[in-house]
Structure 1
């Protein structure tokens, strides 16, 4: 039986706007959208994961009586907002996680979900770039909204493939 604090590799069974349902050792784990990223990067979990994806999840609550288990992705890592790690002009070597056909943070245009640092994901608007998931890209922070925990990023040089 899972307990709070356990870290497991769970398979995504279903993705909804509000969260994801995962399974580990026949136990269902729900990860809600606020527990995915330290950065407000998307309004739907459908932009973060797909059925069959494998995710590292920390268990944050087990309701044995109700049979519910809650997990977190971002909660495995320190909150980068507390140490001011997001500043305009900061450059990150980011891993491209996936292509998103219609990204919220790209005004409905396509984009790429990138991992700026463990537990902190941001949306990179396509900018006529062709990037492959798994590659690393140099991105720069253009806008920081501390109140909403949001950033806007772009490729370091939008005229070249920086991956």
Structure 2
């Protein structure tokens, strides 16, 4: 039986706008959208995962009586906002997690979900950019909104 604090690799079963439903050892785990990233960059879990994906999830609540298990992805890692890791002009060597066909963070245009630091994902608008999932790239922070936990980033360069 899973307990709070366990970190497991779970398989994604179903993805909804508000959450991701995973399974680990025949136990269903729900990860709601606020538990995905320390950066407010994802407005739909569909932008983050697909059925069949494998996700590292930390268990944050087990309701044995109700049979519900809640998890977090971002909670595996320290909160980067507490250590002021996001500053305008900071450059990150990032990994492209996935391509998104339409994202409101990019005015309905395509974008790429990139991981700036573990547990912190940002949306890179794909205007005139062609990247592949898994590709490394240099990302520069253009704007930081600490109150909203939001950042705006752009591509500095693709890495060989």
Tell me if both proteins adopt one fold, taking TM over 0.5 as the criterion.
Answer: yes
Structure 2 unaligned blocks of 5 or more: none
Name the structure with the higher strand share. 2
The 8 Å contact of residues 155 and 162 in structure 1, kept in 2 or not, is answered as: no
Q: What SS does structure 1 have at the residue aligned with 2:102? A: coil
CA distance in 1: counterparts of 2:107 and 2:144, whole angstroms? 17
**Residue matched to 2:69:** 69
Give the CA RMSD over aligned residues.
Answer: 0.9
Question: 1:162 offset after TM fit, Å?
Answer: 4.7
The answer to whether structure 1 residue 17 and structure 2 residue 17 are counterparts is: yes
The 8 Å contact of residues 156 and 162 in structure 1, kept in 2 or not, is answered as: no
Count of aligned pairs: 160
Q: Which string of whole-angstrom CA distances, capped at 9 and with x for unpartnered residues, describes residues 137-157 of structure 1?
A: 100000100000000000115
Q: What SS does structure 1 have at the residue aligned with 2:89? A: coil
The list of structure 1 runs, each at least 4 consecutive aligned residues, that deviate by more than 2 angstroms after superposition, is none
CA distance in 2: counterparts of 1:128 and 1:48, whole angstroms? 22
The answer to whether structure 1 residue 127 and structure 2 residue 149 are counterparts is: no
Q: Normalising by the residue count of structure 2, what TM-score does the alignment of the two structures yield? A: 0.98
Structure 1 unaligned blocks of 5 or more: none
Question: 1:128 offset after TM fit, Å?
Answer: 1.0
**Residue matched to 1:82:** 82
CA distance in 1: counterparts of 2:40 and 2:67, whole angstroms? 29
Q: What SS does structure 1 have at the residue aligned with 2:51? A: coil
Question: 1:42 offset after TM fit, Å?
Answer: 1.5
CA distance in 1: counterparts of 2:14 and 2:118, whole angstroms? 23
The 8 Å contact of residues 42 and 104 in structure 1, kept in 2 or not, is answered as: no
The answer to whether structure 1 residue 27 and structure 2 residue 1 are counterparts is: no
CA distance in 2: counterparts of 1:146 and 1:162, whole angstroms? 29
CA distance in 1: counterparts of 2:104 and 2:117, whole angstroms? 20
**Residue matched to 1:56:** 56
